Amino acid sequence: MESEALPVPPGDSSEQQGAEAVMLAALGERLGLALAPTRLYLPDGSRVAVDGVSTSPAVLVEAWAHQGPTKPAQRNKVLADALKLVYVASQLPGAHRKVLCLSDEEAARPFLGRSWYAGALRSMDVEVEVVPLGEEWRERVLNAQARQYR
């Protein structure tokens, strides 16, 4: 008897997580370093998961695989990721490069240019790097976004 595959729950984000791993590998190659997801324990007793960390040179990266225009809540998620980078870097010894890694020019647009939040990112030395996904990953993320839309 053949078993039927269970449908993917609408909120499942495994496609985005896979795409973010691909993005981090490509960004690491671009920057000439290895980035690994890391759980950090900070001096204040808090712990935080960072999508990509390199110790030499010291780099902190948060990745977001979204494709297409952003909604206000999505922009706030990216800004929260940037705040996380700024806070973590402030708690660790030495200087750390802080990078938001996005995979789509349209999704990155609000964080570049003349918006107040683009200016805020620049003032806090948070870089925005766009690492485009290959067509297969892009389609997988777009399909997941369509399924997740509520």
Element spanning 88, H or E: helix 72-91
How far is Cα 42 from Cα 118, in angstroms, rounded to an integer?
A: 27
pLDDT at position 1 over 50: no
Q: Is the pLDDT of residue 70 over 70?
A: yes
CA–CA distance, 6 with 8 (Å, rounded to integer): 6
Q: Is the pLDDT of residue 6 over 80?
A: no
Instruction: Provide the pairing of β-strand 47-55 with 36-41.
Output: antiparallel
> Is 14-148 in CATH node 1.10.10?
no
Q: Which residue has the higher pLDDT, 9 or 116?
A: 116
22-64 pLDDT, tens digit each: 999 999 999 999 999 999 999 999 999 999 999 999 999 999 9
Q: What percent of the chain has pLDDT over 90?
A: 74
Rounded Cα distance, 18 and 24, in Å: 10
Around Cβ 138, how many Cβ atoms within 10 Å? 16
* pLDDT band at residue 140 under the 50/70/90 scheme: confident
Give me the mean pLDDT over the 94-117 stretch.
Answer: 95
pTM score, whole prediction: 0.88
